[in-house]
Amino acid sequence: MQHLKRLILKLRYFKSSFYSGSVSLKAKFIGSVRIGPNVEIGSNVVMNDKSYVNRGSVIVAAEIGRYCSIGCNVIIGAHEHPLDLLSTSPHYYLHFTDYNDVSRPVKIGDDVWIGANAVIKQGVELGDGVVVGAGSVVTRSFAPYSIVAGVPAKLMGSRLDRYKGDNLSSDFFNYLLKK
């Protein structure tokens, strides 16, 4: 019961929102995070300080860095159906094959912004400062400070070309945390 009370205290709801989603008690929240209404968070999720998830999003398996902004109706690390079997139905492949339905968590760096209605596939790694355009389907990993968009997501540019060569990632966020 004490664990449940701590979990509830760590979750900060958006003002005037009624929370009716599903958050696994095995999910780990570090510091102050915000979870919007109708959000579903699975047991294989770690979410770090100052990050938020907006309404209607589903996070199945992910490690989310600090200062991340996740828009409405985003899907991260959802289960995938095998395309190389006779049927894509879970009723078939879970009962009649040796298919192993193990999720590969998504890794999201610090200060990542994921626009509304984006889908981030299993196993993807998004470096610090990545921006994912609304409605994008991210099927592969991207380097820090990339701007990506489309179906499938493609590199559109870099956020911080003028700072190339500077060590921006961890030093910047460690500085912010000390304040």
Active site residues: 81
In angstroms and rounded to an integer, the radius of gyration of the C-alpha atoms of the chain is: 17
User: What 8-state DSSP symbol labels residue 32?
Assistant: -
Q: How far apart are CA 97 and CA 80, in angstroms?
A: 16
Look at the chain and count its residues: 179
Own/partner contacts of 38-46, CB < 8 Å, gap of 24 or more, are 42/77, 44/77, 44/103, 44/105
Q: How far apart are CA 173 and CA 49, in angstroms?
A: 11
Q: Are 58 and 78 in contact (CB under 8 A)?
A: yes
- DSSP β-ladder status, 75-76 and 40-47: unpaired
